[in-house]
């Protein structure tokens, strides 16, 4: 039998439906792969074999009865930010030690309702704060990719590094992830996988540990565009428990694949040509433009003039919301508690021991910009800039642009504990330079692999769309994927 973990979701769905394989066989193949590879890659922080096999048996029963759901028997990894009933949910933070919720997030419940199987919880940057998956309490995730002829361990990107690495290393068929400033698209780009951040409000945030509530959005990471479309269809829904979720029909995203791009107008923003950008990134961008032109799309130069303010504005808005959201972790009701001489001392000791360096940094920045005397100077200004960034996109779309094509990241994956980045947080923050505008405007953005750099590492392009028009991103990304081909790492683990 061929390695079942190499099947895409679409292929596995077909074979399960035809009863050529069983959900239990598929699940066991993934559990074996995790057991062999996870000590090296560290993608999973918890594996749930008994739960997975029980869910797979139930799936086989439904398939036999002709009652298969859209994801029946498909084994998935779940980012540790999603509440999973009775299963480790700690946002990869020490402060949530031992927390196992008594409820299920809406997104994961949607997946289980469609028949998906849970393999376990995936590593991530602590509280989703990071671009390299190095801030996790459970240690860094290693990228399944390595540069040609090198043994250097590379980061998988962040914060959804565990999700991206698990998909790239064939340790799950697909994974849930979240994106606050690029945390789906950047790790997908670093690992040669496909990631989509849907429009804000497309997926419910209920049961997802909050980082920055006006920016956070759930989405999938998958091996190809079709699989990402299949997963998003199941993840998306309106939810009475999340008033920011939007009551719009969820389209059949998969049906958009293969549609013609003739007559489409693709915008190329001049502001995304940044100083010091490698020539390989520019060449890849030009190649993407050529592929879309060949497919019948019209290429239009556009301007998004407030792009240069997006990163500083994001790093005011996101930490401000984080400092508010993370105030609830105090050692009183759940998670870590370090006793002190009184309640204030207990709060201080618990939070000092429970939060990692990056989380503390962002709490302090956020508390500062919200403090009396600084609120107007920083937070209010950043929100005004956010409105202008959103306006830039609206003007481009109102002028007839259907989607925007940009690079996904300013480089390929870099080394774990890179001295240059470790010593300068701002350089690490610059990893999000191409992605944060999408969150600030609440738009959908998709990262699709488009080539390899001179070191043999994956590079991706980003597509940005109009609100709730994810189908256009899927059909456009499908064209790029067909032209570029698919990429898999050489196994070293």
DSSP state of 377: I
Reading the block at residue 231, the tokens are 């997963």
Catalytic-role residue among 93, 136, 159, 447:
159
Q: What angle do CA 185, 189, 194 make, to 5 degrees?
A: 70
Contact 169, 193 (CB under 8 A): no
In 318-468, beta strands by DSSP E: 403-407, 445-452, 458-465
Catalytic-role residue among 79, 197, 233, 466:
79
Reading the block at residue 312, the tokens are 């500083």
| Burial class of residue 305, CB neighbours in 10 A (0-12, 13-18, 19+) | middle
Annotation marks residue 197 as catalytic: no
Reading the block at residue 278, the tokens are 């490698």
Annotation marks residue 79 as catalytic: yes
> Would you tell me how many other CB atoms lie within 10 Å of the CB of residue 424?
11
Q: Is the bond preceding 112 in cis, omega lying within 30 degrees of 0?
A: no
Catalytic-role residue among 183, 204, 234, 412:
183
DSSP state of 448: E
The rounded distance, in Å, linking the Cα atoms of 386 and 212 is 14
| Residue 181: C-alpha distances to residues 252, 414, 425, 460 (Å) | 26, 19, 15, 17
| Burial class of residue 183, CB neighbours in 10 A (0-12, 13-18, 19+) | buried
Q: In what order do the strands lie in the sheet with 265-269?
A: 44-47, 117-122, 75-79, 174-179, 217-222, 194-197, 445-452, 458-465, 403-407, 265-269, 298-302
Annotation marks residue 183 as catalytic: yes
C-alpha dihedral sign at 166, 172, 173, 174: negative
C-alpha dihedral sign at 315, 321, 323, 326: negative
| Burial class of residue 399, CB neighbours in 10 A (0-12, 13-18, 19+) | exposed
What residues are annotated to the active site? 79, 159, 183
């Amino acid at each position: 039998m061929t390695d079942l973990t190499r099947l895409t979701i679409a292929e596995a769905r077909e074979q399960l439906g035809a009863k050529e394989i069983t959900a239990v066989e598929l699940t066991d193949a993934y559990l074996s792969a995790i057991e062999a590879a996870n000590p090296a890659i560290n993608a999973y922080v918890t594996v749930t074999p008994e739960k997975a096999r029980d869910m797979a048996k139930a799936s086989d029963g439904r398939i036999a009865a002709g009652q298969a759901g859209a994801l029946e028997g498909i084994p998935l990894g779940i980012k540790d930010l999603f509440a999973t009933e009775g299963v480790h949910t700690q946002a990869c933070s020490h402060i949530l030690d031992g927390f196992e919720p008594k409820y299920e997030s809406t997104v994961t419940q949607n997946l289980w309702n469609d028949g998906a199987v849970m393999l376990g919880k995936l590593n991530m940057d602590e509280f989703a704060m990071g671009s390299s998956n190095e801030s996790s309490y459970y240690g860094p995730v290693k990228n399944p990719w390595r540069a040609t002829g090198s043994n250097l361990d590379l980061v998988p990107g962040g914060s959804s590094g565990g999700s991206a690495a698990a998909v790239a290393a064939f340790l799950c068929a697909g994974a849930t992830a979240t994106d606050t400033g690029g945390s789906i698209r950047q790790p997908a780009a670093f690992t040669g996988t496909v990631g989509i951040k849907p429009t804000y409000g497309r997926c419910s945030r209920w049961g997802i540990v909050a980082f920055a509530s006006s920016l956070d959005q759930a989405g999938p990471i998958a091996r190809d565009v079709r699989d990402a479309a299949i997963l998003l269809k199941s993840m998306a829904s309106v939810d009475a428990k999340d008033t920011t979720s939007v009551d719009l029909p969820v389209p059949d995203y998969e049906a958009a694949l293969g549609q013609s791009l003739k007559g489409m107008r693709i915008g190329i923003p001049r502001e995304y040509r940044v100083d010091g950008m490698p020539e390989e990134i520019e060449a890849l961008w030009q190649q993407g433009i050529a592929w879309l032109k060949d497919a019948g799309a019209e290429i239009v130069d556009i301007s998004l003039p407030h792009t240069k303010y997006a990163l500083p504005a994001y790093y005011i808005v996101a930490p401000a919301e984080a400092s508010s959201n993370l105030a609830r972790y105090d050692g009183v009701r759940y998670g870590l508690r370090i006793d002190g001489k009184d309640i204030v001392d207990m709060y201080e000791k618990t939070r000092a021991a429970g939060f990692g360096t990056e989380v503390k940094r962002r709490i302090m920045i956020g508390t500062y910009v919200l403090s009396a005397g600084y609120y107007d100077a920083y937070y209010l200004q950043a929100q005004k800039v956010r409105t202008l960034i959103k306006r830039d996109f609206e003007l481009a779309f109102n002028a007839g642009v259907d989607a925007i094509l940009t690079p996904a990241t300013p480089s390929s994956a870099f080394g774990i504990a890179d001295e240059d980045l470790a010593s300068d947080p701002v350089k690490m923050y610059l990893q999000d330079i191409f992605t944060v505008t999408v969150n600030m405007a609440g738009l959908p953005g998709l990262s699709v692999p488009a080539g390899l750099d001179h070191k043999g590492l994956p590079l991706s392009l980003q597509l940005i769309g109009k609100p709730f028009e994810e189908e256009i991103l899927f059909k456009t990304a499908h064209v790029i994927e067909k032209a570029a081909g698919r990429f898999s790492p050489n196994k070293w683990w």
